Structure 1
Amino acid sequence: MDRRRFLSVGILGPAALVTGAAPAAARAGRRGFGFTADGSGFLLDGAPFQIRSGEMHPARIPVEYWRHRIRTARAMGLNTIALYVMWNQLEESPGVFDLRTDRRDLEGFIDLCRQEEMRVLLRPGPYVCGEWDLGGLPPYLLRDPDIRLRVGSADDPRYLAAVARYVAALAPRIGPLLASNGGPVLMVQLENEYASVGSGSGYLEELRRLWLDHGVDGPFYTEDVLAQAESARTVVGGGAIGLSGGDAAAIAAARRAFPGVPALAGEVYPGWLTHWGDDTFQGRGNDISAALRGCMEQGLSFNIYMVHGGTNFGFTAGANADDLGGGYRADITSYDYGAPITEQGVPTARYAAYRAVIAAHLAVPPPQPPAAVPTLTGDDVPALLPEPYASLWDNLPGPLPAEPGAAPRPMEAYGQNTGFVLYSRRLPGLRGGRLAAERVHDYATVCLDGRYLGTFARQSLPAAVTDALGIATDGPPPTLDLGPAGGTATGAPGPRLDMLVEGMGRTNTGLALADRKGLLGPVTLRDAGPLTGELTDWRTTLLPMDEPFVASLVPGVGDPRRPGIFFRTTFELTRLGDTYLDLSGWTKGVVWVNGRNLGRYWQIGPQQRLYCPAPWLRAGTNELLLFDLHQLRPRPVTLHAALTDAP
């Protein structure tokens, strides 16, 4: 999905057949999924088949709720689930794949679809966008400073070699699930909206050939915007096309422009993404009833993006920026998306309306939705008050060896994918001046001998926030005042400068996709006498803030005046239920419940509540842990039943 552009519905260019590849239409008479001879529709085991699909991503849903969400989609009258595969969730380190544990079990999710009599549209990328960190590409690719992403082997063989490894790992699991082998997978999408960044068919055909060489013979399809695809002439041999934002009229336009090429409304948007700092949750006013009615009346195929959004747990949320990397805006933790099934699986009023539209055209009415999941509120658990528990500064791992004369390097250069990175060095003889930082990705709190100086933020923030937190807004580049005499220690080594950088979501679309995290530009001193100039010789400490690190925290806060504190409390439960933790009194940080990372919170909103699913709670004692970049004193955390109180 191309989140940057709001263009008309798109299709791919003429799908000329590739030598040696049987067209999907030729398979119409045998078992499996294919296309009619004239490309006007789809066939399943030789019979006409309308794809009525809703998108949901297993990576964004607790495993224990997979079946519940699939059943809720089926009860809306759908017969298919579309899903992205997040490559970076499956291969965090080069060649080390995990396709089994927790929300990575792709085969398990697809088998549940089969059990619930639902078909599957599989969207394995390798790039997916999806408001997911780096669009689903693994951050380890960014270790190479000049790597090119989303290109063919002629443009960057390193990238396509990594893609080939990914396909080789995934294909043996996908092949048996294809409709031609009796499985639920109807089609496999190649890449995602490639026409927004590239042109021609070369890269797409290389991807197609990789799948074919590993025994996955499709059929394949692509997703694009009409104006972009017509200009870029992206083609996949013998494939179908998905139309971003499509409806019946768009499919008709595609049929006129490209006769013989099957088309579906591949992404029909009931909502939209939301960034930190937006005034409200976006896309809640969308109503796709007319689009659904048009497709149902004409028997046309569609996919609702999203039917159920879920949650960007942990550090998985993406971001948007312009093609030069400016105008950065990070995505919120919730992926509710204004979908007809909410983040916690509740059917909305729009769900009922869409269900009625679809059911009116079905010979057999859809089943009833499953029972709602129980919830917890403040009536069940009194307000929680996490107390200072541990200081980050008292729990730092050892820094990496110093690199004399070197400028700071991003976390990817050291093999870290997400979290924070600390850059430190001494400033001998410092007697004042200003600190300037260019290209901070994405949020850096600065201390001098433990005294908080202020923050560099990549994203533009409201004046009330910048004033309250001392966020540098002058420049470019922005600067922070070091004070008349630096820190409190005046020994020979000089005061210690610490820049703690949070890497927020990597951009997930556009030409600035290679979004590395940490300090990417020079850090300099101004008006600092002999020290004036660029700072090098940094000591770098990696802080992925993963579960092992959090579990190993040593209690104690040596300096309660220095921000960077973990707060903790426990609470008792006699029954379990979904809940939302209200963090509106806190500033900016991350929350864990029983060791599970719920995601980021940020005072700028619009999200103030983080979803905590019941399966991550337990009867008896539960632990709540927060890491706040600014907070020094505890604030209450209250429980609510929904993301907002709005209907």
Structure 2
Amino acid sequence: MQRRRFLALSLLTPLAFAGRGWAASLAPALAPVGPDGRPHAFSFGQREFLLDGETFRVHSGEMHPARIAKEHWRHRIRMARAMGLNTVAIYVMWNHHEREPGVFDFESGNRDVAGFIRLCAEEGMWVYLRPGPYICGEWTNGGLPAYLLRDPDTRLRTRDDPRYMAAVRCYVAALAPRIVPLMAKAGGPVLMLQIENEYSMFADDIGYLDALRDIWREHGVDGPFSVSDGLKDLQRRKAYPKGSALGLDGADVPDLLKGRGFAGESPVWVGEGYPGWLTHWGEPTFASKDYEETLRHIMRAGYSFNLYVVHGGTNFGLTAGSNAEDDGSQFQPVITSYDYGAPVDERGRPTDQYARLRRVIADATRVTPPALPPAPPSATFAPVTPQPFASLWDNLPGKPVTLPSPGPNEILFGQDQGLVVYRKRFNKGRVLRLENVRDYAVVHVDGHEVGLVSRVEHPALNSKPDVALPEAFADATTRTLEVLVDTFGHINFGPRIGEHKGLIGPVSIDDMPLHEVEAWPIPLDDDWIRGLRGFADESAPTEREARPAIFFTSTLHIETPGDLYIDMTAWSKGYLWINGQLLGRYWNIGPQQRLFCPGPWLRAGDNELLVLDLHRRTPAVVSAADSLHASRSA
């Protein structure tokens, strides 16, 4: 996903489809004939796509299986088809399938990429596959596995690092056998495969892109291939591998005409057109866009397109990425919702823009789209007030690791995201300095929360590295300092991709560096959550005694399972699980206050809600909602 701002759509010329004539540019696209299980030839003609030798215009909408509950896949595909689209574009997030070196999962839950592609075929939709290795997509580390960061010398997105390229080869070797039988020439729905993503926004080594294409060919995928880039970056770095379809991100018709200077006779199309936009924590409201007029001009000019996204879904668990400036400043973590202001919202419902874009497509193609599928069922529950269940401090895993000083989580612990607790005994001090916090640190002295340092710049937060220690702790009595470090997703775009997480340091009290510190890494994984030790009846803290970083639990009684939002407006910052599924992060700086829970993850009767709040000492209400936006809630 491109991170650049685009100029407003300029006045368009009817000469957009030069070489075919003005009248030809207004001709409707071919009817969206879908895959039928027979071999088909998808190829490039003179500046156009061909399907079995005939002009074919790709009318694509993007969605990501990893962001959608598997039980909802078919419905979301049907929503794209009912909008008048003929193709579904999908990212494959490498790190969603290989979290440890050589250990792949392409089968379980929403990791079944081949299963999703087969559903597209069943629903009469072609597929445009975007498997990375890098995808950006507001996904943590742009899809690259965090295990690559355990070696501080590994360089990403370059053919000059043998460790990186060996990992890429392993990934392609695992994925390609699942894709080869699904290519159009084999009777499947996959038309085309993208090489990397937005590479001109990062570097200029065309040889790297050629090497990736050759790896796919070695494993039986011989194209056609495409690339996707922003025009300004492409003009600057010129990283275009000849013979590839050139997708231009955020392009209007004049940009597409300029793209011919790179692509020659290969097709130029809108690789990503934006009917919505991403939202970060701390922004005043949810981002939105309007793509109606842009799409009308693009279709009138006869170009193919891919809507990024037709349906966004959700950054479940710890999958949301982050953005930052090239120097690492202006850190902006992405919210848990990936609603994106898309035509099909997070719950799978059509928005006002969906109807308008549907009309644009129908008018241009002169094809009446199918009827919309029935919406998935909704659910609700009576408001509940979860009660304290366990303390994070009582559940530090195993024995601590003693370190010379704090440092990167990936290198010290082999841990991607999650939490780390650092502990150090000290005699006196007035100012604690925590440098290079990535990304959020809560400071405790003798069990009392005394301050925080956040990498997110926001009026409600302390974005400076210094925490003033209370006067009561400035004497010579030995104190216990504990720093709870919380992380957001890895930066997913720009030169800071691959940046490490944790308390990078240095750390000092009154300018004296801290050494020999104890550390407990907490990955927030399933095994640790299942093993939580709750308060014994006699040890449950009173409100006065309670120490922040508490787990709260409650039972949600649901008569009939269905989709819903869980409203966390009354809470501070933390994580939410339903029936053991980590829905994601919540944070009271907004704009998101509600987390989406797919109906298939609920059951009739009692459901377990678990909350880890890093700041609250007392319970607060949790309620059900029908929408991400308060103004739209039932």
Normalization by structure 2: what TM-score?
0.91
**Aligned partners of 2:392 and 2:411: how far apart in 1?**
21
1:48 aligns with 2:55: yes
Q: Which residue of 2 aligns with 1:437?
A: 434
The answer on 1:127 being equivalent to 2:134 is: yes
Q: CA deviation at 1:590?
A: 0.5
Match of 2:529 in 1: 550
Partner amino acid, structure 2, of 1:436: R
Aligned equivalent of 2:120: 113
Q: Give the one of 65, 71, 79 matched to 1:72.
A: 79
| Structure 2 gaps, min length 5 | 10-38
Coordinate RMSD, CA, aligned: 1.9
1:22 — aligned with what?
Answer: none
Contact kept? 1:32, 1:182, Cα under 8 Å: no
SS where residue 99 of structure 2 aligns? Answer: coil
Counterparts of 1:540 and 1:424 in 2: how far apart (Å)? 6
Q: Give CA-to-partner distance per residue, 1:113-157, whole Å, 9 cap, x none.
A: 0100100110011111100111111111111113211111x2x22
The aligned counterpart of 1:504 is 488
Distance 2:261 2:416 in 1: 46
Q: In the alignment, what sits opposite 1:574?
A: 559
Indicate the SS of the match to 1:89. Answer: helix
Alignment equivalent of 1:616, drawn from 598, 601, 617: 601
Question: Any conservation in 2 of the 1:432–1:482 contact (CA below 8 Å)?
Answer: no
Contact 2:41 2:185 (8 Å CA) reproduced = yes
Tell me, yes or no, if structure 1 residue 216 matches structure 2 residue 225: no
Deviations 1:289-347 (CA, angstroms, capped at 9, x unpaired): 22222233343210000100000011111111111111111111111111000000000
Conserved 8 A contact 2:389-2:553: yes
The Cα shift of 1:213 comes to 1.1
Q: Is the 8 A contact 1:276 1:605 kept in 2?
A: yes
Instruction: Tell me if the contact between 1:51 and 1:301 (Cα under 8 Å) persists in the aligned partners.
Output: yes
Instruction: Identify which of 545, 564, 585 aligns with 2:570.
Output: 585
The answer to whether residue 395 in structure 2 is matched with residue 395 in structure 1 is yes
Query: For the residues of structure 1 that align with 2:304 and 2:319, how far apart are their CA atoms?
Result: 31
Match of 2:257 in 1: 252
- In structure 2, the residue matched to 1:495 is 479
- Give the deviation of 1:455 after TM superposition: 0.8
User: What do residues 38-57 of structure 1 show as CA deviations (whole Å, max 9, x unaligned)?
Assistant: 2x210112221110000000
- Deviation, 1:257, is 5.8
Q: Deviations over 1:548-607 (max 9, x none)?
A: 211221111655421000010002121112111111110000100111111100000001
Distance in 2, Cα, partners of 1:70 & 1:416: 35
Specify the code of the residue in structure 2 equivalent to 1:151: T
Distance in 2 of aligned mates of 1:7 and 1:514:
30
Residue identity opposite 2:401 in structure 1: P
- Equivalent residues, number: 597
SS at match of 1:361: helix
User: For 1:399-455, what per-residue CA distance to the aligned partner results, in whole angstroms no more than 9, with x for missing partners?
Assistant: 34323x34434244321122111112222xx13321111000001111122121111
Matches within 5 A, 1:180-259: 180-255=185-260, 258-259=263-264
In 2, are the aligned partners of 1:432 and 1:486 still within 8 Å (CA)? Answer: yes
- The 5-angstrom pairing of residues 159-174 of structure 1 reads 159-174=164-179
User: Quick one: which amino acid aligns to residue 415 of structure 2?
Assistant: Q
Match of 1:348 in 2: 351
- CA distance in 2 between counterparts of 1:622 and 1:581 reads 13
Aligned partners of 1:32 and 1:181 also within 8 Å: no
Question: Does 2:308 correspond to 1:292?
Answer: no
For the residues of structure 1 that align with 2:200 and 2:563, how far apart are their CA atoms? 40
Q: Following the alignment from structure 1 to structure 2, what is the Cα–Cα distance between the partners of residues 256 and 4?
A: 21
Q: 2:627 aligned with 1:639, yes or no? A: no
Amino acid at match of 1:419: G
Identity of aligned residues (%): 49
Match of 1:571, SS state, is strand
2: CA distance between counterparts of 1:644 and 1:503?
26
Q: Shift of residue 515 of structure 1? A: 2.0
* Distance apart, 1:67 and its partner CA: 0.1
Q: Which amino acid aligns with 2:534?
A: P
Q: Are 2:47 and 1:33 equivalent residues in the alignment?
A: no
Structure 2 contact 132–194 (Cα < 8 Å) conserved: yes
Query: What residue identity is the alignment partner of 1:338?
Result: G
Look up the SS of the partner of 1:300 in the other structure.
Answer: coil
Counterpart Cα distance in 2 of 1:637 and 1:486: 40
How far apart, CA to CA, are the structure 2 residues paired with 1:414 and 1:422? 12
Match of 2:334 in 1: 331
Q: Distance in 2 between matches of 1:257 and 1:590?
A: 47
How many angstroms apart in 2 are the aligned matches of 1:393 and 1:443? 17
Measured in 1, the distance between the counterparts of 2:262 and 2:4 equals 25
